[in-house]
Structure 1
Amino acid sequence: MNTEIGQPAILNPSQVYPTVSFTPCVNGRVAGELIFDRTKLVTELPETPMVKDSLMEWTPLGTADLLGTYELRMTLKQDGAAPQYDSYYFTVLDPKSIPAGQSTIAFLGNDGMMMYIGDYRGNQILDFSNAGYRGGGVEIPNIPVKSTVLPLDGDATERIQVAIDQLAMLPLDKDGFRGAVLLKKRQI
């Protein structure tokens, strides 16, 4: 599994879970959980003493049999201090499911939807496919102009607000719109 920022953290199906290794800089206790699909507890590390400057390792028992995203949640406790939390992520998928010529961090899945694979810190490419009018994928309607604001010198905030307020008093049309306010561009 790759543990480099920006590179996908991928495990093949049926591989053993990755090992978390760390050397604490304080004495205290550590506990861990392996979570699948953000909600399902797979296994846990019961609270265990940790000794300053001693290597600690935890390999969750079992193998990664379910396809999807996993999170290793760690809780570090020290007497008299607030708990500290850290998480590590990986995705289990069959490498053959990534279409030839497509990136391992973003590719078209079998269902026709984009798949985004994160790195071991959970970073992934942002999905903007639902941005835009009505969540994207919907043509922007052509709404008739009912009010126009002409460009003048100075702040137009009040004139724009008056146009919006007047539009708000009109009845809804058959498509649920009252009309549009057109802000005219200053001619140069």
Structure 2
Amino acid sequence: MKAIDTREARQRLEALIEEMGRRPRPIRIVRKGACWHQRWAAAGLRVVTFGGQRTYLTHYVTTLGRTIYVPDDFEGWSPTRAWQILRHELVHVAQFERYGWVLMVLLYGVLPLPLGLSWFRARFEMEAYAETLRAVAESEGMEAARSPQLREEIVRRFTGPDYAWMWPFPGVVRGWIAEALAQIERGGADRAR
């Protein structure tokens, strides 16, 4: 795996955040704990996942439109991890821009099913996790992007309570990850976002 220079990682993260703020329609980063609707969402997710999703406020980043909601300790995260996650979330910003609020909320949250076979949510997350894999390859190398631990973490999220069991077929998720990694290798890990 590639050695990560902390100063370089911090500069890369700061440059991305500056770029997000300079857009014609800037992207905001907001702490989840400061937002009543995020606290309500955490309570609702805890209920619908039968207690399986208890870390929504403390471990998960959520994008709604051009606002990225982060856990309250986000500023203490390693710059490499924060950069990789913001790259993932920028895919969701683009999805909101492409589909609009109403359609995005319906497709991501409700159709065809809010739990279990959530095909649209899985597709949106597959697109975002492809960017996660690309960001890991760029910052840590292809070996890190191909690590079994990362692959199984993504599989666990797709098939478990983190995303309300959105896609209960681990083999399909593993196949999709292999396909995404092959595409990254064909296109080069340095491919522009």
What range is the shorter-chain TM-score in?
under 0.3
Q: Which of these two proteins has the greater Rg computed from alpha carbons?
A: 1
Higher strand share: 1
Under a length normalisation based on structure 2, what TM-score does the superposition of the two structures give? 0.23
